[in-house]
Amino acid sequence: MKKHLVLVGGGHAHMVTLENIKAFVKKGYTVTVIGPSIYHYYSGMGPGMLGKTYLPEQIRFATRDVVKSQGGRFIQDRVTHIDPETRSVFTLSGSTVSYDVLSCNAGSHVPMTGVGTTDGQEPDNVYPVKPIEKLMEASEKLQALFAEKQIRASVVGGGPSSAEVAGNVWQLARDTGGHMPTICIFCATRFMGRFSDKIRDRVKAVLEKRKIRILENAWVHEVTRSHVILGSKKQYDTDFTFMAAGVTPSDIFEKSRLPVGPDKGLLVNQYLQSVADPQIFGGGDCIHFQPHPLDKVGVYAVRQNPVLLHNLMAALEGGDLMPFEPGPDYLLVFNLGGGQGVLKKKKIVFSGRLAFTIKDYIDTKFMKKFQAIEKAG
């Protein structure tokens, strides 16, 4: 009977494996990819899509088409949990998929804790910054609101995502030509607190020049349709709110009783292999790298690509595994909208149009490289 490779998710860490599905099929293996969408959206360009710098088709990868064109099977569904004993994956629709080797790139999500409900439903003007697809819908709603009146836009969270979203909401409003909104970022502690003052000051300077308000030590207790309510009970009016207070790995591993790290991500060793099950691998935001924690940034997922490809084939064939080396310090660029960015590489930090241009070039080149797979299939 043919051995079965199952990929959960078509994210950044699975890109090279997806590109090489035909190699697995030629060796006689069956390949199944399970994902919630027929597309994978590149998170690094998500804020740019919100601000209309990019069209949706410029930042997405046609996962289903790539899988099917190479002889694989694509299942549009969401994985709920895994049973390592029976080597089975269970989905939201009630399906069960057996595997011989499993790789998970299930991503992360933004917890909606504290979002108040009305009649049992979450308000329709509160959006998490992930999944990236939701930013398309948010962008359309905001444009309609800008045309009507001056609104109050709120961003809950004090990290890079909050800065990029706020900056691109400002760009969207400017380019739409409607009423400019008042924009406020609510930070639980210090804005951009895990970064150096060099980076922090440059990001703040860009945002504050646009009159974007940054409230520090403003821990948000609850968000409703019309208010952002702090732990201090102080309330702020809002017409549209983004939730950007950090990301959490998929909960499927905890539900599956597989070992997880402090962040609840699948605990993997130096081979990106579950510490409890040698047939399960993972990459990207959904894992916790046991040798040492990794930042939740796309660069590590991209660097994990060749290691996962090699190790998945080795696991099927009984070969030697390749260790993952996180590599050197990475380039970090924030897209703050309006053609402005802040760049950091080792000790070099600068802001302005050149920073954004560099990010745009790198991101666009990355997407074109993998979108070319769609045509090569």
pLDDT computed for residue 253 by the predictor:
96
Give the separation between CA 337 and CA 38, rounded to whole angstroms.
28
Terminal C-alpha separation, the chain: 26
Can you give the pLDDT at residue 248?
Answer: 84
- How many alpha carbons fall within 13 Å on the CB side of residue 303? 18
Q: Two tokens at 333?
A: 């660029």
Question: Binning pLDDT at 50, 70 and 90, where does residue 109 land?
Answer: confident
Read off the pLDDT band of 118 (50, 70, 90). Answer: low
4-36+77-110+248-327 shares its CATH topology with 126-246: yes
- 18: confidence class by pLDDT, cuts 50, 70, 90: very high
Q: What is the mean pLDDT of the chain?
A: 94
The residues, ordered by sequence, that sit 6+ positions from 370 with a Cβ below 8 Å of its Cβ are 15, 19, 61
**Single-letter amino acid, residue 373:** I
Please report how the helices 134-148 and 160-176 are oriented relative to each other, as an axis angle in degrees rounded to 10. Answer: 50
Select the CATH number that applies to the domain covering 4-36+77-110+248-327 from these four: 3.30.110.40, 3.50.50.60, 3.40.50.2300, 2.60.40.10. 3.50.50.60
Give the list of residues 6+ apart from residue 177 with CB closer than 8 angstroms, or none. Answer: none
Question: How many residues in total does the chain contain?
Answer: 377
The pLDDT confidence band at residue 291, using thresholds 50, 70 and 90, is: very high
- Indicate the fold that domain 126-246 takes in CATH: FAD/NAD(P)-binding domain (3.50.50)
E runs forming strands in 119-263: 126-128, 152-156, 182-186, 213-215, 220-223, 227-230, 235-237, 240-243, 248-249
pLDDT at 277 over 90: yes
* Structure token digits, residue 71: 């002889």
How confident is the model over 207-247, as pLDDT tens digits? Answer: 999 999 999 999 999 999 999 999 999 999 999 999 998 78
Kindly report the backbone phi and psi dihedral angles of residue 3, in degrees, each rounded to the nearest multiple of 5, phi listed first.
-75, 150
| Position with higher pLDDT, 163 vs 249 | 163
Count of C-beta atoms within a 10 Å radius of residue 194: 12
Average pLDDT over every residue of 124-131: 92
Backbone Cα Rg of the chain: 21
pTM score: 0.93
* Alpha-carbon gap, residue 129 to 138, rounded angstroms: 10
pLDDT beyond 80 at 147: yes
Beta carbons of 6 and 32 less than 8 angstroms apart: yes
Question: Is pLDDT of 119 > 70?
Answer: no
**pLDDT for the residue 295:** 87
10 phi/psi in degrees, rounded to 5: -115, 40
Domain positions in the chain: 4-36+77-110+248-327, 126-246
pLDDT band for position 41 (cuts 50, 70, 90): very high
